[in-house]
Amino acid sequence: MYILPHLPFLIYTIMTFNNKEVELKYSIRAMMMYENITNSSFNPKNLTDILTFFYCVVVSSMKDYDYSFEQFIDELDNEPSKLEELTNWMNGNINNQNTFKKN
Q: Is residue 1 included in any domain, yes or no?
A: no
What is the phi-psi region of residue 18: left when phi exceeds 0, alpha when psi lies from -120 to 50, beta otherwise? Answer: left
What's the pLDDT tens digit per position in 16-44?
988 889 888 888 888 899 999 999 988 88
Q: Is residue 94 included in any domain, yes or no?
A: yes
Q: Is residue 3 included in any domain, yes or no?
A: no
Q: Is residue 66 included in any domain, yes or no?
A: yes
User: Which one of 17-26, 37-46, 78-87, 94-103 scores highest in mean pLDDT?
Assistant: 78-87
Q: Give the total number of structural domains in the chain.
A: 1
Q: Is residue 7 included in any domain, yes or no?
A: no
Range of the domain at 37: 13-102
Note the pTM of the prediction, 2 decimals.
0.79
The pLDDT of residue 55 = 95
Query: Using the 8-state DSSP alphabet, how is residue 82 labeled?
Result: H
Q: Is residue 2 included in any domain, yes or no?
A: no
Query: Using the 8-state DSSP alphabet, how is residue 23 labeled?
Result: E
